[in-house]
Amino acid sequence: MAQPLMPKATAVWLVENTTLTFRQIAEFCGLHELEVQAIADGEVAGGMQGLDPVANGQLAKEEIAKGQADPNYSLQLAKPSIPLPEARTKGARYTPVAKRSDRPDAIAWLLKNHPELADAQITKLVGTTKNTIQAVRDRSHWNTPNIRAQSPVLLGLCSNDELEKAVHRARERLRKASAEGEAPAAVEEEEKASPQSVP
């Protein structure tokens, strides 16, 4: 269940201004029931200003009335009237300027430790171009003498989960290709053409 903004301050206000049970307040604010009891006793959050959840639109007065009438009722967070921003799902991965020089190191590490990854997957993971991948692979990159293979996870270019998913997909692709007797290069070309890859 989603929690209200500033849960302790909200709990302080609910303890001071309503007759809701400690369990109801604890459940709504995502706190432990004993912590709410300590707030009521003045042991915790003694000088904290209470935050009115009704005034900031997180809880309706009707919800409080229902909760006060029925001690077993669970308070529900009000739906926000402001539209929430949508998460970006497509587009190139942004790499901060300070980390852009780390891309060739990450590419070298991926090529060395996970040769099963397709260029399209490396492009998506690290946020680079296929030309850079090819240059690192051929050792024709302008900075080849200074490239040291380092994990893209440690460099902060991708998360460990993203890397594991990409490696798992690549191994599944190779397993399917070997089961069908297809050449891995043909499957890689198929993946490059798929709409999931980032150019």
Confirm whether 21 is domain-assigned: yes
Q: 64 with 121, same domain?
A: no
For tokens 């009521």, name the residue. 40
User: 144 is in which domain, residue-wise?
Assistant: 97-193
Q: Tell me the C-alpha distance between 64 and 144, whole Å.
A: 66
Q: Rounded distance, CA 143 to CA 77, Å?
A: 55
Give residue-wise pLDDT tens across range 60-92: 899 899 999 998 998 888 887 767 667 666 666
124 and 59 in a common domain: no
Domains contained in the chain, number? 2
Q: 53, 69, 85 — which closes off a domain?
A: 69
Task: Label residue 49 by pLDDT band (50, 70, 90).
Answer: confident
In a domain, 82, yes or no: no
84 occurs within a structural domain: no
Q: Is residue 81 part of a domain?
A: no
101 and 50 together in one domain: no
Single pTM value for the model: 0.49
Q: Do residue 111 and residue 176 come from a single domain?
A: yes
CA 103-108-114 angle, 5° bins: 115
Q: Is residue 88 part of a domain?
A: no
Q: Are residues 27 and 110 in the same domain?
A: no
**Pair 48, 121 in one domain:** no
Q: pLDDT exceeding 70 applies to what percent of the chain?
A: 86
Q: In this structure, is residue 90 part of a structural domain?
A: no
Q: What is the mean pLDDT of residues 10-25?
A: 92
Examine residue 131 and state whether it is found in any structural domain, yes or no: yes
Extract the tokens encoding 64. Answer: 């409080």
Q: Are residues 110 and 174 in the same domain?
A: yes
Whether 187 has a pLDDT exceeding 50, the answer reads: no
- What dihedral angle (degrees, nearest 10) is formed by the CA atoms of 136, 137, 139, 141? -30
The mean pLDDT of the chain is: 85
Residue 74 lies in a domain: no
The whole-number pLDDT of residue 195 equals 44
